[in-house]
């Protein structure tokens, strides 16, 4: 196994905006605009940013739940960017996702057992007779009673439902799990439990994580490396310690100094942005952040800064450096 | 473990109970449901309940008015057949056709709506154009033309009624599917590697059942109405087999002699349609906030 | 507005094409084909059949037939009837006024009465009146129109003798307005029953939705009287979905007209349809299917355009 389980190169995902009688393409939403990442095996990468910066889209595109518009996705040394659904099917076992909204991520009409066992059934991992036992084992792994499997999702609290979602992700023996803001919809005390659960699972099963979040404080505990995202671009990247102790980008500084609390539910409409963040339909020229930057100077509104290495395992995209 | 933490597990009553209780609060809906069950019972046990063979002619006993004797409680028709028996057997026929037609409608409409809603794009476009086009034909015109082409029996009549009424169901299912498919649990299924068929039938369809149930109930009402009309005109259930509709075919000519021949079958049709309508309406109200997951 | 109109018309065109294809397909898929009526006649030989086929152009490939037929439809040449050889278009068109009269009267009655009941119900929600009206509407919706017609004839024509039992006017009598009106009443009421029910329900729910909006509350707090609120604020806004309902009801109206005309021997399109059906007069059937479908398409188009005129939100979207 290479040291990087997942490598993403210049990933782009645009959504066309249609207008008019014949659905003319009037513009593109640059949700993900040239993102490059690397995740070390058995480590955790945190992808942070405000609502609507494109982090969820990045996560979904990496998993090929959305087709990339451009760029490369390399999983375990293999380029999967152009894989079709049939080719992806076996690979899907390796890469799973845990969602943000514990209420929308579980099918209300299925039993917990059905939900957690779905992966087992789809990939025929265990014979039908053994499935119940396997589901029980999975539930125990995430700290739930095995006889919960006969119940329905609405009978459980948010934290419990999130555990069910994690059990589902684990059911197919993945190597990579993408957590799309898995803590955002939970109460603070529950957040801690889930974080601990994820850490335990990572140690036990050698999992690699990409955790997408907007709350830097939550993420600092679990992440080995951090990538800061804004309007579809990575602004800063480095190990957690380096970035938190020595943030180089003005945006990172701003994030660290205040804890933004955007409404987690609003970001489900990842295309439409509200508030001060400019629309990804028409991103600002030059550095994307420059309209809001305190340190803005001459080249910022003309030239887009490239991601450059300023120290060992610390990259930043800013003209200041 | 979970037990150590004092997580507050919200006490949800099961969804079914909530819907059920809401349904019960609508008296008319309950009345409708009760009548529906009674009618189904009458239809099911027609052969046990009917005093006579509905096809048995006795020209010596023509035009006996109802409520005169116990032997022909609802009277006899123009060739001496017992009206009560014909009503019971006719009811069985009409209800069978109604329910069969409902299945044809719901299955066709659901499939089309499911495929259109799930795949979107060109497929959706074509299917919706088809649906819109079919909706341009007034149902009775369409039905009659089709009825004139086929050899009328229970199955064929049910099928043509299905062909002329699936459009509404398709629309309902499609809009429900398009709403649901954006939900995370569908994405989760895709991430697990589920096939399109799996997602459509195991994840999407069960969540669209609520509005479909309402549609199904109302479509029985419509089907009974349609069957009775085409049978009345002679294109549906053929004599001597009884259906409430064809019992009315000659009723107009016997108004003076035997008005009950026109009144009784019509009352049964109205009662049936009414009870299914009330039932369906009550279902819709009970499911209302649940119509969208 | 012009933009919207053009868009809307463009959307109607594929519908027209689709309708013609399906109509044509139906006719030709019929067992026995369009010449079924002839195949039933034992005196017609296979030779004769072949000649008739050629004469009607039925031996050409199906898409050619379709194009010829569609072109004919478009230019007003709808062929001739099997029996009597009259031009189909003429036969159909001479029946249209009667149907339009019936549908129009029923529609007008339905809107007037339905809206009255609906608005009254909305204003006095949960009152006895409202409860009776709502339940009554549900009951009325369940009445088979043809049976209701039969009963109406039975009560008002046979038993009470107040109104005639059928036809558009009294044969051989004075064809004056009173006579025509007397003949019009029963069929109109019968046809309108279900429509009144639908309109009252729709109006009621549409008004209820509007009344509960904040801008009505504002108007009320400004001291405006109930009547003023009703007409200047509530009414225009509740109107839009109702115009849409008009479009949706058109197919229903046509179906109902067919049923009513058969019961009351009303000399309209519906009656013609059933008569043609009985003798398998395919040209008329085809023509009528197309006419009714086109009427529905045009009706919906008009309803949408009127709606866009009333509700600026629609044409600006």
Over residues B57-97, the pLDDT tens digits come to 777 777 777 777 777 777 777 777 888 888 888 899 999 99
Percent of chain B with pLDDT over 70: 92
On whether residue A187 sits in a domain, the answer given is no
- Which of B1, B10, B184 minimises the CB distance to A99? B184
- Which of A101, A108, A172 minimises the CB distance to B192? A172
Are A163 and A282 within one domain? no
User: Residue B3 above 60 pLDDT?
Assistant: no
What residue of B is the nearest CA neighbor of C27?
A: B145
User: Residue B173 above 90 pLDDT?
Assistant: yes
Are A155 and A293 within one domain? no
Mean pLDDT of chain C: 80
Which of A302, A206, A288, A209 has its CA nearest to residue A251? A288
How many structural domains comprise chain A? 2
A95-98 and A176-180 strand pairing: parallel
Structure tokens at B106: 């719901």
Chain B contact probe: residue of A87, A104, A163 with most B CBs at under 10 A = A104
Residues B77-88 have pLDDT tens digits of 777 788 888 888
Q: Give the confidence band of A260 by pLDDT, cuts at 50, 70, 90.
A: very low
On whether residue A189 sits in a domain, the answer given is no
User: Residue A272 above 50 pLDDT?
Assistant: no
Cis before C209 (ω within 30)? no
Are A109 and A230 within one domain? no
Mean pLDDT of C220-245: 69
Q: What is the pLDDT of residue A231?
A: 85
Q: What is the pLDDT of residue C316?
A: 64
Residue pairs spanning B and C at CB distance below 8 A:
120
Residues C154-164 have pLDDT tens digits of 888 777 777 77
On whether residue A192 sits in a domain, the answer given is no
Residues of A in contact with B194 (CB under 8 A): 118, 122
The string of DSSP codes covering A50-108 is -TTSSHHHHHHHHTTSS--SEEEEEETTEE-TT--HHHHHHHTTTEEEE-S-TTTSS-T
User: Residue C187 above 80 pLDDT?
Assistant: yes
Are A146 and A235 within one domain? no
> B183: which residues sit within 8 A by CB, 6+ positions away?
A104, A105, B293
What residue of C is the nearest CA neighbor of B252?
A: C150
Residue with tokens 């803590």, as numbered in its chain: A183
User: Residue B223 above 90 pLDDT?
Assistant: yes
The string of DSSP codes covering A163-229 is HHHHHHHHTT--SEEEEESTTTTS-HHHHHHHHHHHHHHHHHHT-EEEEEES-HHHHHHH-SEEEEE
Are A272 and A143 within one domain? no
Mean pLDDT of chain A: 82
What residue of A is the nearest CA neighbor of B292?
A: A108
Are A112 and A154 within one domain? yes
Q: In chain C, helix, strand, coil percent, each to 5?
A: 80, 0, 20
Q: What is the pLDDT of residue C231?
A: 65
Q: What is the pLDDT of residue C127?
A: 80
Chains touching C by CB (3 or more pairs below 8 Å):
B
How far C232 CA sits from the closest chain B CA (Å)?
31
CATH number of the domain that residue A305 is part of = 3.40.50.300
On whether residue A180 sits in a domain, the answer given is no
On whether residue A279 sits in a domain, the answer given is yes
The single-letter DSSP state of residue B2 is G
On whether residue A193 sits in a domain, the answer given is no
Residues of B in contact with A108 (CB under 8 A): 15, 207, 293
Q: What is the pLDDT of residue B254?
A: 81
Are A226 and A296 within one domain? yes
Q: Which residue has the higher pLDDT, C313 or A127?
A: A127
- Which of B148, B150, B229 minimises the CB distance to C259? B229
Residues of B in CB contact (< 8 Å) with C are 28, 129-130, 132-142, 144-146, 148-150, 221, 225, 228-229, 232-233, 235, 248, 251-252, 255-256, 259, 262-263, 266, 269-270, 273-274, 277-278, 281
Question: How many whole angstroms separate alpha carbon A267 and alpha carbon C197?
Answer: 45
Q: What is the pLDDT of residue B158?
A: 93
What residue of C is the nearest CA neighbor of B26?
A: C135
Are A74 and A115 within one domain? no
Percent of chain A with pLDDT over 70: 90
Mean pLDDT of A105-124: 89
Q: What is the pLDDT of residue C44?
A: 65
Residues of A in contact with B183 (CB under 8 A): 104-105
Residues C90-109 have pLDDT tens digits of 888 888 888 998 999 999 99
Alpha helices in C124-234 (DSSP H): 128-142, 145-152, 177-211, 214-221, 226-228
Mean pLDDT of A285-293: 76
Are A132 and A275 within one domain? no
On whether residue A159 sits in a domain, the answer given is yes
**How wide is the angle at C-alpha C219 spanned by C-alphas C214 and C225, nearest 5°?**
135
- Give the pTM: 0.82
User: Residue A273 above 60 pLDDT?
Assistant: no
Mean pLDDT of B4-9: 34
A264 φ, ψ (degrees, to nearest 5): -60, -25
Residue with tokens 């009667």, as numbered in its chain: C98
On whether residue A194 sits in a domain, the answer given is no
Q: What is the pLDDT of residue B216?
A: 93
Are A119 and A87 within one domain? no
Mean pLDDT of C116-131: 81
Are A21 and A168 within one domain? no
User: Residue A24 above 70 pLDDT?
Assistant: no
Are A110 and A165 within one domain? yes
Q: Pick the range with the lowest mean pLDDT from A69-73, A134-138, B165-169, C21-25.
A: C21-25
The ipTM, to two decimals, is: 0.83
Structure tokens at C221: 């707090």
Q: Give the confidence band of A266 by pLDDT, cuts at 50, 70, 90.
A: very low
Q: Give the confidence band of B131 by pLDDT, cuts at 50, 70, 90.
A: very high
- Last-in-domain residue among A124, A154, A173: A173
Chain C contact probe: residue of B136, B255, B264 with most C CBs at under 10 A = B136
A233-239 and A308-311 strand pairing: unpaired
Mean pLDDT of A212-222: 82
Asked if the Cβ–Cβ distance from C15 to B133 is below 8 Å, we say yes
B112 φ, ψ (degrees, to nearest 5): -65, -45
The alpha carbon of C165 is separated from its chain's Cα centroid by a whole number of angstroms, namely 22
Q: Pick the range with the lowest mean pLDDT from A21-35, A223-237, B228-242.
A: A21-35
Residues of B in contact with C143 (CB under 8 A): 270, 273
User: Residue B109 above 90 pLDDT?
Assistant: yes
Structural domain including A165 reads 99-173
Residues of A in contact with B191 (CB under 8 A): 63, 65, 92, 95-97
- Last-in-domain residue among A173, A191, A217: A173
How far B142 CA sits from the closest chain C CA (Å)?
8
Residues A181-216 have pLDDT tens digits of 888 888 888 888 888 899 999 999 999 999 998 877
């Amino acid at each position: 196994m290479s040291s990087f389980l997942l490598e993403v190169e210049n990933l782009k995902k645009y959504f066309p905006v249609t207008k008019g009688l014949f659905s003319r393409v009037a513009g593109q939403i640059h949700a993900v605009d040239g993102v490059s990442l690397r995740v070390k095996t058995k480590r955790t990468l945190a992808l942070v940013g405000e609502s609507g910066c494109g982090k969820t889209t990045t996560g979904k595109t990496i998993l090929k739940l959305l087709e990339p518009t451009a760029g490369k996705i390399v999983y375990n040394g293999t380029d999967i960017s152009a894989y079709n659904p049939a080719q992806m099917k076996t690979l899907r076992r390796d890469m799973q996702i845990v969602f943000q909204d514990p209420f929308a991520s579980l099918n209300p009409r299925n039993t917990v057992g059905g939900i957690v066992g779905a992966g087992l059934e789809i990939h025929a991992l265990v014979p039908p007779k053994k499935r119940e036992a396997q589901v029980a084992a999975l539930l125990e792994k995430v700290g739930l009673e095995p006889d919960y499997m006969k119940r329905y999702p609405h009978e459980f609290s948010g934290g419990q439902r999130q555990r069910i979602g994690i059990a589902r992700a684990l059911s197919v023996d993945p190597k990579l799990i993408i957590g799309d803001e898995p803590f955002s919809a939970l109460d603070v005390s529950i957040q801690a439990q889930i974080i601990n659960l994820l850490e335990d699972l990572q140690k036990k099963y050698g999992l690699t994580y990409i955790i997408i979040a907007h709350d830097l404080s939550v993420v600092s505990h679990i992440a080995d490396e951090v990538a800061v995202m804004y309007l579809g671009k990575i602004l800063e990247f480095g190990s957690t310690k380096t970035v938190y102790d020595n943030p180089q980008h003005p945006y990172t500084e701003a994030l660290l100094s205040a804890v933004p609390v955007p409404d987690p539910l609003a970001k489900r409409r990842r295309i439409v942005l509200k508030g001060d963040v400019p629309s990804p339909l028409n991103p600002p020229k030059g550095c994307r952040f420059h309209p809001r930057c305190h340190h803005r100077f001459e080249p910022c509104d003309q030239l887009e800064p490239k991601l450059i290495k300023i120290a060992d395992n610390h990259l930043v995209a800013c003209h200041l450096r | 473990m979970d037990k150590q933490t004092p997580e507050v597990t919200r006490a949800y009553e099961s969804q079914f109970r909530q819907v059920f209780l809401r349904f019960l609060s609508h008296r008319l809906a309950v009345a409708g449901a009760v009548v529906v069950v009674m009618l189904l019972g009458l239809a099911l046990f027609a052969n046990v309940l009917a005093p006579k063979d509905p096809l048995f002619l006795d020209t010596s006993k023509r035009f006996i008015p109802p409520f005169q004797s116990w032997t022909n409680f609802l009277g006899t028709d123009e060739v001496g057949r017992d009206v009560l028996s014909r009503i019971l057997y006719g009811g069985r026929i009409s209800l069978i056709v109604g329910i069969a037609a409902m299945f044809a409608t719901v299955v066709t409409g659901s499939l089309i709506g499911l495929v259109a809603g799930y795949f979107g794009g060109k497929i959706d476009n074509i299917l919706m154009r088809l649906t819109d086009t079919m909706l341009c034909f007034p149902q009775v015109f369409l039905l009659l033309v089709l009825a004139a082409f086929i050899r009328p029996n229970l199955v064929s009549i049910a099928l043509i009624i299905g062909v002329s009424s699936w459009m509404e169901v398709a629309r309902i299912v499609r809009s429900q599917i398009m709403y649901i498919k954006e939900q995370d649990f569908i994405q989760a299924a895709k991430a697990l590697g589920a096939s399109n068929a799996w997602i459509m039938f195991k994840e999407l369809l069960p969540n669209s059942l609520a509005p479909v149930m309402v549609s199904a109930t109302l479509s029985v009402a419509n089907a009974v109405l349609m069957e009775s009309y085409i049978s009345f005109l002679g294109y549906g259930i053929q004599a001597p087999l009884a259906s409430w509709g064809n019992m009315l075919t000659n009723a107009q000519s016997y108004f003076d002699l035997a008005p009950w021949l026109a009144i009784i079958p019509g009352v049964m049709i109205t009662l049936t349609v009414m009870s299914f309508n009330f039932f369906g309406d009550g279902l819709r109200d009970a499911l209302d906030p649940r119509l969208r997951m | 507005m012009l933009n919207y109109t053009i868009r809307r018309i463009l959307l109607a065109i594929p519908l027209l094409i689709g309708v013609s294809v399906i109509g044509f397909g139906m006719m030709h898929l019929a067992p026995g084909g369009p010449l079924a009526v002839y195949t039933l006649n034992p005196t017609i030989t296979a030779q004769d059949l072949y000649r008739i086929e050629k004469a009607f152009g039925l031996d050409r490939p199906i898409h050619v037939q379709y194009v010829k037929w569609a072109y004919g439809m478009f230019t007003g040449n709808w062929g001739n009837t099997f029996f009597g050889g009259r031009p189909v278009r003429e036969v159909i068109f001479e029946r249209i006024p009667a149907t339009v009269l019936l549908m129009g009267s029923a529609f007008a009655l339905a809107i007037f009465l339905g809206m009255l009941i609906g608005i009254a119900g909305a204003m006095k929600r949960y009152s006895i009146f409202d409860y009776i009206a709502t339940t009554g509407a549900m009951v009325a919706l369940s009445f088979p129109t043809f049976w209701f017609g039969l009963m109406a004839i039975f009560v008002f024509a046979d038993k009470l003798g107040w109104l005639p039992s059928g036809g558009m006017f009294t044969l051989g009598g004075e064809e004056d307005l009173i006579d025509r009106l007397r003949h019009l009443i029963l069929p109109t009421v019968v046809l309108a029953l279900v429509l009144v029910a639908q309109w009252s329900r729709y109006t009621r729910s549409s008004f209820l939705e509007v009344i509960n909006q904040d801008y009505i509350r504002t108007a009320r707090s400004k001291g405006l009287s109930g009547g003023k609120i009703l007409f200047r604020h509530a009414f225009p806004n509740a109107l839009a979905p109702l115009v849409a309902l008009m479009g949706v009801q058109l197919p229903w109206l046509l179906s109902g007209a067919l049923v009513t005309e058969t019961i009351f021997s009303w000399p309209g399109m519906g009656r013609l349809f059933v008569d043609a059906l009985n003798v398998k007069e395919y040209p008329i059937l085809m023509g009528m299917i197309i006419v009714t479908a086109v009427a529905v398409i045009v009706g919906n188009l008009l309803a949408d355009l009127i709606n866009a005129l009333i509700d600026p939100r629609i044409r600006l979207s």
